Structure 1
Amino acid sequence: MKNSENIIVGISIGDLNGIGGEIVLKTFEDARMLDFCTPVIFASAKTMTFLKTHFNSEINFNGLNDIKQVIIGKVNVFNCWNEPVKIDFGKEDLKIGEYAIKSLQAATKALKDGDVDVLITAPINKHSIQSESFKFPGHTDYLAQELGGESLMFMVTDTLKVGLLTDHVPVKDVSSHITPERIQQKINTVYKTLKQDFNIQRPKIAVLGINPHNGDNGVIGNEDDIVLRPTLLKIKETGKLVFGPYAADSFFGSSNYKNFDAIIASYHDQGLIPFKTLSFGKGVNFTAGLNKIRTSPDHGTAFEIAGKGVAEENSFKEAVFTALEVFKNRTEYQELTSNTLRKAPKSERR
């Protein structure tokens, strides 16, 4: 297993007109961070020098043209481009979106190739990244295609973990996306990630209902009774500790969430509004289910404060620590699983 600072953290710079560059600088101005990992920022030395000057940062960079030349214990910058970039803080700009994608694609390639161990993505603007060659609604869908596995948006803190049955889906289409197959797949993904990535050996999972009051016996909708409830019963029969559906309106306010290791919400706002209310600035967006590890802060580009030097780096820093924790837990889990299989009789390895 790798030791602390030898874990190489790839960082995609996100939308340069937002707060991404600022929170990355602030995170690694704390020299103690280099005791835990070695960062590689995917941007350009020229761009990062501009940001360093603008924010009066004292950070020092090691510029790279070859990803194999990373220096452990330094803040590395891999040059994804060499030309000057016009940064106009707070503005939506399709050209800046192109640089965000260049950074993301280079960082993802390095992750796939094993040149970095984990990926932290700074916030992007979902509109300015769209092009003929990039038609994904955000990071998660792109990374699911590139990295393989069954992706799931999983918002996490030490004490609260919320997954989603559907993520960036219009509200009018939510119920049509929630099928028995999707429910089983998402619950299996949460169950596996709690065990291998967060070292929770007997996960206890709550599932929130689709309709208000779980449909009130069909008065407000029948999806909970016809689709969700029977599927949860089948999953429970396999031995998983899965409970619900719970009425979403009172679940968090009653503190019932504290009785579970994870909560699965039916749609984006049902899960993320309470999560961000309870933990904004401390939460982390972890893409569970992928073959590689990716995290990001729990906020967006924050154009309204970009360039002003007032952005808080706490969530980005937590994203780094979460990625490191998951990397170590997953490595230990895989080693343990591998050793168990090697020791088992051949008849049990199938």
Structure 2
Amino acid sequence: MSNHSKHPDKARIGITLGDINGIGPEVTIKALRDNRLLNYITPVIYGSTKVLSYYRKALKIEDFNYTQVKDDGKFQSRKVNVINCWNEMIEIKTGEVTPEGGKASFNALEKATAHLKEGYIDALVTAPINKDNIQNDNFKFAGHTEYLTSKFGAEDSLMFMTTENLKIGVVTGHLPLKDVSKKLNKDLLLKKYSIMEQSLINDFGIMKPKIAILGLNPHAGENGLLGKEENELIIPVINKLKNEGKLVYGPFPADGFFGKNDYSKFDAVLAMYHDQGLIPFKTLAFENGVNFTAGLPIIRTSPDHGTAYDIAGKNIASASSMLHAIYMAKDICTIHEDRKEMAGESKS
């Protein structure tokens, strides 16, 4: 990965607008309207100045300004930079699912991904897409996570929902519930655990992470009465990791674990399937939660909400999660830079 213009201090954060008929453009505008953010990052929006202009007017947000960038990597510091990712006129139909909306969200993602590969930007924040209308010959994925994992040739990745004091990863992500048990095996569990542990160390600076692992079945299987996955799969993996000196605990029944606030005793929690991890996460941290894709050679975060068509264009969407996603991308950039500098010093 080349780095065309080494930035002096500020991370260049790419932001894709997502589905232009959802709340992506609105939360992006609201997150970036406060100029103080420009002291810390150089934002680069991938989408369209026409879309931003439309929403700025529709939402009556006067204090949001941006500059259009035509040359790759020639971003202006202390400005919100915008790259037009399509030329044709696309009609905005707020709150509707349209083929054009899907095409636009793909074009923005593709351009941003290319820039990330080239090193023009340091991290990527993705506003929500519609996983249905974005599908095309070049996008046959369940979502951003799977697309980026494939694009950057990573062996695997982890959907890692994060806040300051709550971090939950899922062993199986976008998968029908009936397939979860078939997909689970010791190798997958060990792989996801390893990605989580490495991410906590490398991306969040937690040197000896303490990780909780949830059971799959009600009451964590009740000694085999309510399912065999705990005894045959999860407990052997936990024992293996403990023997290697890892601070790993479980399997915990998910309901009591969150009900009794046990999650606060751990640096992170590994859940077995999507809703087991995301329901408690969104209940506890919806406003400031961030979805981070761990295990990739690049930094990617996103807000923890979807396109929210029902409230799109009504000026009621909160930018809190988007703002947290931008700040987290910046913080991880800083941790990586510090680590590189320390590695350089130790070599010399």
The TM-score with structure 2 as length reference comes to 0.95
Deviation of 1:64 after TM superposition, in Å, equals 1.4
Contact 1:154 1:162 in 2 (8 A): yes
Which whole-Å CA distance do the structure 1 matches of 2:342 and 2:188 have between them?
A: 29
Q: Superposed, which structure 2 residues align to 1:215-234 within 5 Å?
A: 215-234=221-240
Match in the other structure for 2:194: 188
SS in 1 for 2:324: helix
Which whole-Å CA distance do the structure 1 matches of 2:235 and 2:77 have between them?
A: 51
* Partner AA of 1:123 in structure 2: P
Matched, 1:205 2:211: yes
Matched, 1:37 2:41: yes
Matched, 1:243 2:249: yes
Match of 1:307 among 309, 313, 323: 313
Which whole-Å CA distance do the structure 1 matches of 2:242 and 2:306 have between them?
A: 37
SS in 2 for 1:148: coil
Matched, 1:79 2:84: yes
Q: Superposed, which structure 2 residues align to 1:315-326 within 5 Å?
A: 315-326=321-332
Deviates more, 1:38-47 or 1:25-34: 38-47
Could you list the runs of 5+ residues in structure 1 that have no partner in the other structure? 344-350
Which whole-Å CA distance do the structure 1 matches of 2:32 and 2:69 have between them?
A: 17
Match in the other structure for 1:347: none
Contact 1:286 1:294 in 2 (8 A): yes
Deviation of 1:310 after TM superposition, in Å, equals 1.1
SS in 2 for 1:239: coil
SS in 1 for 2:54: helix
Which whole-Å CA distance do the structure 2 matches of 1:101 and 1:170 have between them?
A: 24
Deviates more, 1:278-287 or 1:39-48: 39-48
Match of 1:21 among 21, 25, 39: 25
Q: Superposed, which structure 2 residues align to 1:102-141 within 5 Å?
A: 102-141=107-146
Matched, 1:154 2:154: no
SS in 2 for 1:290: coil
Which whole-Å CA distance do the structure 1 matches of 2:196 and 2:345 have between them?
A: 24
**RMSD of aligned residue pairs (Cα, Å):** 1.4
SS in 2 for 1:67: coil
Please give the per-residue CA displacement for 1:37-91, whole angstroms capped at 9, x wherever unaligned: 0111111222222222222222222111212221111001011112221000110
The TM-score with structure 1 as length reference comes to 0.94
Contact 2:90 2:100 in 1 (8 A): no
Of all paired residues, the percent bearing the same amino acid is 45
Q: Superposed, which structure 2 residues align to 1:60-79 within 5 Å?
A: 60-79=65-84
Contact 1:46 1:82 in 2 (8 A): no
Which whole-Å CA distance do the structure 1 matches of 2:22 and 2:151 have between them?
A: 25
* Partner AA of 1:332 in structure 2: D
Which whole-Å CA distance do the structure 1 matches of 2:118 and 2:248 have between them?
A: 36
Count matched residues.
341
